[in-house]
Amino acid sequence: MVYLVGSGPGDPDLITRAGLKALWRADVVAYDRLVAPELLEEARPHAELVYVGKDPHGPATDQDHINRLLVERARAGLTVVRLKGGDPFVFGRGGEEAMALTAAAVPFQVVPGVSAAVAVPAYAGIPVTHRRLAASFAVVTGRTGDGRDIDWRGFSGIDTLVLLMGVGALDRVATELVAAGRDRRQPAAIIENGTLPSQRVIVGALEDIAGLAVANSVGAPATVVVGEVVRLRSAVDWFTGVARELAPSLA
């Protein structure tokens, strides 16, 4: 059996109970770059831990290699957990892995995870919907695996946009959103290391958010939110004080 498990957006406490149960019974854990180290400690003492992460600016494990690993270990009679950041089916290639397992006749289960698309804005004090400000939101990736261009005109009527994996392309994305009809002065926020004590939130306007990211040396992982809901941050922010309390214990 293979379990495709979402580990959540960073904070190890955000994994689901079902995800932990799968970890506790795993013989093999194939884990991503952004998985919290504390979660690997939940595996059994003799479980095989296999790093299969992808670094957008460095080495990346080939997806075909990951698919073969899952199939081979499962066919050897082992219980395998594919531990992925966020949710397996939200820009996590979980669908590709599920299709590979189906083609190989390997049984599997999907254990959904808390997606960074909603959790990271929440930890930054930004609700992606609000009764008076946002009746819709969309999640979009800053880069596609096959090099396709995204038609940003299709997002012009969406109240809140959440951009994942888009730090490197933020200048281009912001320019294309404005060209597609989005107000260049619309509030925007970039959240680095969301849900972790090291979380940083930078707020500006769509037209200058890319420049602010560069000026503040923002790195991945980072989540971008564009929409009027960003204005609520000053009233809804709850995590800043929690992060300050946690930081000394991690020093």
What pLDDT sits at residue 144? 58
Tokens describing residue 87: 């949710």
Chain mean pLDDT for the chain: 92
Average pLDDT over residues 201-222: 94
Residue 54 DSSP symbol: B
The values of phi and psi at residue 64, to 5°, are -60, -35
Q: Pick the more confident residue, 124 or 245.
A: 124
Summarize the confidence of residues 35-56 as an average pLDDT: 92
Angle ∠(23,24,29) on CA atoms, nearest 5: 35
Report the pLDDT averaged over residues 172-187.
93
CATH topology (fold) of 2-111: Cobalt-precorrin-4 Transmethylase; domain 1 (3.40.1010)
- Indicate if the pLDDT at residue 167 is higher than 90: no
Output the 3-class SS for 30-49. EECCCCCHHHHCCCCCCCEE
User: Of the residues 11, 32, 84, 87, which is catalytic?
Assistant: 32
The pLDDT, as a whole number, for residue 31 is 97
Q: Give the domain ranges of the chain.
A: 2-111, 116-239
Is 84 catalytic? The answer is no
> Which of 182, 167, 162 lies closest to 122 in space, CA to CA?
162
Can 32 be counted among the known catalytic residues?
yes
Neighbours of 220 (CB within 10 A): 16
pLDDT score of 214 more than 70: yes
To the nearest whole percent, how much of the chain has pLDDT over 70? Answer: 92
- The C-alpha atoms of residue 85 and residue 91 are separated, in whole angstroms, by 10
Q: Give the model's pLDDT for residue 143.
A: 64
Chain centroid to CA 81: 18
Residue 190 half-sphere exposure, CB side, CA atoms within 13 Å?
29
DSSP label at residue 86:
B
Residue 250 confidence class, pLDDT cut points 50, 70, 90: very low
pTM strictly above 0.85? yes
Overall CATH class of domain 116-239: alpha beta
Confidence band for 251, pLDDT divided at 50, 70 and 90: very low
Q: For position 148, what pLDDT does the model report? A: 66
pLDDT of 243 > 90? The answer is no
Q: Taking residues 182-187, what's their average pLDDT? A: 95
Amino acid at 87: D
The rounded distance, in Å, linking the Cα atoms of 41 and 146 is 35
Task: List all residues 6 or more positions away from 1 whose beta carbon is below 8 Å from its beta carbon.
Answer: 74, 79, 80, 107, 108, 109
DSSP class of residue 58? S
pLDDT band for position 149 (cuts 50, 70, 90)? confident
Phi/psi at 160 (nearest 5 deg)?
-120, 130
For residue 150, what pLDDT band results from cuts at 50, 70 and 90? confident
Looking at residue 173, its pLDDT comes to 92
- Do 165 and 220 meet the contact criterion of CB atoms below 8 Å apart? yes
CA distance 5 to 70: 13
Candidate list 54, 159, 208, 237, residue with the active-site label: 54
Residue 248, pLDDT score: 52
